Amino acid sequence: MVENNERKVIVGVGSALVDLLAHEDDSFVEKVEAAKGGMLLVDEPKIEEVISQLSSKPITVPGGSACDTIVGVGSLGGNARFVGKLGEDPLGRLFKTGLLSSHVEPLLSISPQPTGRVLSIITPDAQRSMLTYLGASAELRPEEITKGLFTNAAIVHLEGYLLFNRDLFAAVVKAAKSAGARISLDLASYTVVEAAGEFLHEMTKEYVDILLANEDEARAFTGEKDEEKSLQILATYADTAVLKVGSRGSVISHHGDITHISPTGSGPIVDTTGAGDLWAAGFLYSMVRSFPIERCGNIASACGYEVCRVIGAVIPPDGWARIKQLV
């Protein structure tokens, strides 16, 4: 069983970003110098230049890794809260409205900078390659992070992208721990892991309780190609370590016990945007409710599958209805 905890709130801390979703082929990804299957930080002129080259207008939805996870928690009926920073502009208003409609408590500070955005280029193999302009989201400061943000938090969930601001990352984990919360970290992208280096390993070892990674992220973190050995190494850093292996499901190490989770569903995959984020939503929601670890994984798997059936990281009502049958 997962540990019981009277606290029920799951708090996400991350970049308040709006997702722009566009379908293009691999040659377009190469032309705009995106990292296939990964994420690159760009400035505003660069992202606007690439948007101007798209073959059609992109779909616009609220996004950001931690935000996607917390929206998922709220949509499942969990107690959800999001901490971030946005601009006072139409995209910022779209972002806040999206949180409220998903039953998420928004703790958002305002910056004079424009709201950040992510261009997700979706190729025919359903992979997404991301160009990220952080905008206002990068203006969140360590001194704005207080223990009070994490009142009644059972879990504080961080996206790996926060590692680009090391002082902010450190401030969040220290404040969350002092508030009595467990720390969940999604490594987010192999490019993040490579850039974070030893700082990531040190902070994970000291503060992280739940570590989530896909195959590429785990390989970058551990330096190990063998999945079993990779998970063993991840498990030395956190009480609960998860290795997501795409269409083959996932493997969870929880206090040394290994649980294999079969993939959910067999329908066509349209877009993998948000798959890991929604997997995390189902998993953390279930952990806070003290479900057995296998059930946590199965609900997580269902969330990850349902979001792959649509474009973007927003599961439609019929998808949530199928997930809630499991819950």
> No. of H helices and E strands in the chain?
11, 14
Q: What is the average per-residue pLDDT within 73-84? A: 96
Cα separations in angstroms, 184 against 66, 147, 154, 157: 10, 17, 10, 5
Q: Any idea what the Cα angle at residue 107 is, between residues 106 and 109, rounded to 5°? A: 120
* Cα–Cα distance for residue pair 180/283, rounded to 1 Å: 20
Residue 173 has a CB neighbour count (10 Å cut-off) of 23
pLDDT for 60 equals 84
Could you write out the DSSP letters of every residue in 217-254? HHHHHH---SHHHHHHHHTTT-SEEEEE-GGG-EEEEE
| Exposure string over 247-268, b if 16+ CB within 10 A, otherwise e | eebbbbbbeeeebebeebeeee
Length, in residues, of the chain: 327
The pTM of the full predicted model, rounded to 2 decimals, is 0.88
Q: Report phi then psi at 254, rounded to 5.
A: -125, 110
Q: What is the pLDDT of residues 28-53, one digit of tens each?
A: 999 999 999 888 999 999 999 999 99
Is residue 180's pLDDT more than 90? Answer: yes
Q: How confident is the model at residue 6 (pLDDT cuts 50, 70, 90)?
A: low
* Cα–Cα distance for residue pair 23/316, rounded to 1 Å: 20
List, in order, residues 6 or more apart from 320 with CB less than 8 Å away: 75, 76, 306
pLDDT for 4 equals 41
**Of 46-50, 83-87, 127-131, 214-218, the least confident:** 127-131
pLDDT for 38 equals 85
Q: How confident is the model at residue 126 (pLDDT cuts 50, 70, 90)?
A: confident
CA nearest 314: which of 1, 67, 15?
67
* Cα–Cα distance for residue pair 89/156, rounded to 1 Å: 28
* Homologous superfamily in CATH for domain 9-326: Ribokinase (3.40.1190.20)
| Per-residue 3-state assignment (H helix, E strand, C coil) for 88-142 | CCHHHHHHHHHHHHCCEEEEEEEECCCCEEEEEEECCCCCEEEEEECHHHHHCCH
Q: Any idea what the Cα angle at residue 128 is, between residues 325 and 26, rounded to 5°? A: 140
Cα separations in angstroms, 182 against 223, 235, 288: 26, 16, 10
Q: What is the pLDDT of residues 138-160, one digit of tens each?
A: 999 999 999 999 999 999 999 99
Domain coordinates in residue numbering, the chain: 9-326
